Structure 1
Amino acid sequence: MNRALRVTAFVAVLGCATSASATVVSDWNAAALAEVRLSKALRNGPPIVARALAIAHTCMYDAWAAFADVAVGTTDSSGSRRRPANERTDENKAKAISFAAYRCLRNLYPDGSLPPPLAQPSVRLNTMLLSLGYSLNETCNTDQDCRNSSPETAAGLGNIAAQAVIDARRHDGSNQYGDLTPAPCPVPTPWPLPCAATAYGQTSAHPTPRLDEVWAYSDYVAADYQPYVPTNPLMGYCNPLVVVCERQDIVDPNHWQPLIFSNGQACLDSGSGTEETCPGIQLFIAPHWERVTPFALTSADQFDDILTIPPPDYLKNSGHYHKNVDDMIQFSRSLDTGRKLIVEYWADGPSSELPPGHWGLFAQFVSQRDHHTIDQDAKMFFAMHNASFDAGIVAWHIKRKYNGVRPITAIRFVKRG
């Protein structure tokens, strides 16, 4: 069985394992992952997806907590939303969770964000809510409507809990709404407009921004903060054994280098676009992500003092560089079937839910395997996705701090003739 078939078989088994007897929490996790896969076209990267899933499940957790005996929501530390004991039923929990998930996902994935012929998010989310037996009449349309929902009903509490989480995350440094001052273009270009305007995704406030508007989740200008600019120019991505690769300039072999693919080069060669408007030109997704407010950590650099990672210029003028390149090549030569399968699964091609979403699939599998209750799932998905969210913030902090070289740059630098 070839690698692609093995991966397909594995994913099919995982999907089947989560399709029966799922809790409403698991069902809404699947709905969230469906939006993640479609939003891939909007260039939402792993840390952005981790945040979205964490927010979605925090909305669900906070709604569930109002019907729990002990738990309190992240936006209700006093427990003021807790309902009387006779209302703490699984039916009310499921309804509150569903309306919270619906409201939250409508905020994270607004209509107008997907190109035709794709249906907009509300179509799928409306269908999901209706399939559970609920009425769209109990949803809320604006932030204030959600805040003013009735706390006496499960649907109203779901709306209130979701909006409280949305409000709490409104200014968390992610630039979800694209309303922060856009950073200058991170690649050399004569184009006068900020390339951030076309780099990332939709905003909740402006699903289809103009070219001179900053897009959601893109880098921005702030006090005491320098927007990211790559050390190296674009590198052509091609097989050097087959064709002559253009753009092989390397300014600093110790640092990351963005890639330009064949369609990007063709776009530039034809004059139909620029480095910030042509497809197939890589940007550092969310270089500002270390500035996002974590869930449990105090900051992205909280544990920097205990890191054993060497300083950023560790490889410069050292014998380790060549040895590491040789080790990478040897490791690639010795890949066995198991390792190849792992690579294929985590490669995240089109329509993928990205690594944070993979963990959501694993959680769905565990939920169904272990016959979870709605209470267990509300807590498990909440804890797991927020851990993933914090891990993404720290990982992007390390990426930005060290700006480490990618294997393709290092190998071409050492092995070029």
Structure 2
Amino acid sequence: MSARRSLLALTIALGTAIALTVLPGTTAQAATSPNVVVRWNQALLSAVRAGTLGPPMVARALAITHTCAHDAWAAYDPVAVGTRLGGTLRRPAAEHTQAGKAEAISFAAHLAAADLYPAQRAEFDALMADLGYDPADPASQAARTGVAACQAVLGHRHADGSNQSGGYADTSGYAPVNAPVVVADPLTTLNAPGRWAPLTFVNRAGVLVTPPFLAPHWGGVTSFSGAARSLADGVPAPYAYGSSGFRTQAAEIVSGTAALTDRQKAIAEYWADGPSSETPPGHWCLFAQQVSARDRHGLDQDVKLFFSLSNAVMDAGIASWEVKRDHDSARPITAIRFLYRGQRIPTWGGRTVDGASWTPYQVSTFPTPPFAEYVSGHSTFSAAAAEVLTRFTGADTFGGQAVVARGSSLVEPGVVPAQDVTLRWATFSGAADEAGMSRRYGGIHFRSGDLQGRSLGRAVGAAAWERAQAYWSGRG
């Protein structure tokens, strides 16, 4: 288990799920009793880690759960309106109590979480019991309100183009133009060097797999802000195969990964968020949990924070996958192998290899995520989340840090890093930039894919923020 995962397991056991500390000089204190919004976020992230959904599906699940919570809460606010039923569920002012809000939120979140992660239903039931509720008995007014709010959201989202009922299987008819590339074998030929190619490799279970392009239909999922797809369509095209830019971006990855420092390697692994993790959207929920504790949020604040944040990352997934599908661009592992086959090139670990066998700085059981390179999902998710956190808190001030323990690398176990490495983020935007850069250090994204992803993410986050504000201010 990596250093970050060890720390995360510890903090979950303590009931905070904040896998971070804060920089010296801040006034943050850990929350001793997280409110129900944070508790449901923690429960959902636990389900994410135990499940197999990819980043865009995880982002959607987070958004649905927190939208259900928001819409249930809105019925107990004098101004806010729900995303589906507006103000029709509004309860009398006398019922606008913290207890009423918490109960409505919990019944709504439970219904959503069980719909999205049915295999983890027992864990969600256990949380309800711990909170003092019986999910099988939504008899109180607050429970009925929460269920009604969530049913409306689920009805909408079940027809949002994600194909949840079909296991999120592709509905677009996508087929790769390249045959699978066997990672263990030197590359000899590639039909379309500038296009995405499936990879064949041995996964963590020891099984030879060839994952298909993950959710190529995802750009058609209904956007929260309504602007995700149009923003994606405004992103310029990546460098085409045969251009000087294509060759330059590949050379940059070759030289960069060959010269990685321990700190850069630690950054690459800390932000990887691959299988069995909370994935990039969930990673930013951990940061939001820290902000909640740091700023001593009440229930109302966290409803709004997680509602706006989760919908921003959902739209980031929609937008980035729209770009990925439109351009179907090659990952560095295939582009570099094709360009440098038959040549000896430097690589990480102080080695030289035949370019046809080059691998990125990733664990061999997950050498590159199974979808197109351009744009970087990490960069888009992270920039969108940072934009919302900055706007919500009123300042681009974070103060987070994480320690990557000596020898904890999964790529070079026991060797890297040679000493503990502390990652510090004074600002949300700085953390987002590092998340984007981590994918270049890891050798799975090019510079343009990172930078254009960051730009797209900021625009997506701003649009989601404006839409979220409209709901809780009563403008709908």
Task: Give the structure-1-normalised TM-score.
Answer: 0.73
1:333 aligns with 2:258: yes
SS at match of 2:51: helix
2:181 matched to which residue of 1? 235
Residues of 2 paired with 1:372 and 1:341: CA distance? 32
Q: Mapping of 1:1-400 within 5 angstroms? A: 4-5=2-3, 8-9=6-7, 14-15=18-19, 20-40=32-52, 44-77=53-86, 79-110=87-118, 120-139=119-138, 153-178=141-166, 216-220=167-171, 226-238=172-184, 245=185, 248-262=188-202, 280-298=209-227, 300-302=229-231, 304-305=233-234, 307=235, 309-310=236-237, 314-400=239-325
User: Any conservation in 1 of the 2:74–2:90 contact (CA below 8 Å)?
Assistant: yes
User: Which stretch shows the higher mean deviation, 253-262 or 10-19?
Assistant: 10-19
* 1:163-222 deviation digits (Å, cap 9, x = unpaired): 1100111211000001xxxxxxxxxxxxxxxxxxxxxxxxxxxxxxxxxxxxx10112xx
User: Any conservation in 1 of the 2:178–2:198 contact (CA below 8 Å)?
Assistant: yes
SS at match of 2:106: helix
1:401 aligns with 2:330: no
Q: Taking structure 1 as reference, are residues 366 and 104 closer, same or farther at Cα in structure 2, changes over 3 Å only? A: same
SS at match of 1:231: coil
User: Any conservation in 2 of the 1:233–1:249 contact (CA below 8 Å)?
Assistant: no
Residues of 1 paired with 2:186 and 2:59: CA distance? 35
2:446 matched to which residue of 1? none
Residues of 1 paired with 2:136 and 2:192: CA distance? 59
User: Any conservation in 2 of the 1:7–1:341 contact (CA below 8 Å)?
Assistant: no
* 1:35-76 deviation digits (Å, cap 9, x = unpaired): 111112xxx111011001000000000001111121111112
Residues of 2 paired with 1:11 and 1:362: CA distance? 15
The code of the aligned residue for 1:233 comes to A
User: Any conservation in 1 of the 2:179–2:197 contact (CA below 8 Å)?
Assistant: yes
Residues of 1 paired with 2:59 and 2:78: CA distance? 29
**Consecutive unaligned residues in structure 1, runs of 5 or more:** 111-119, 140-149, 179-215, 221-225, 239-244, 268-278
Residues of 2 paired with 1:228 and 1:298: CA distance? 24
More strand by share: 2
The code of the aligned residue for 1:63 comes to A
The code of the aligned residue for 2:58 comes to V
The count of residues paired between Structure 1 and Structure 2 equals 327
Q: CA deviation at 1:390?
A: 0.4
Identical counterparts, % of pairs: 44
Residues of 2 paired with 1:350 and 1:399: CA distance? 20
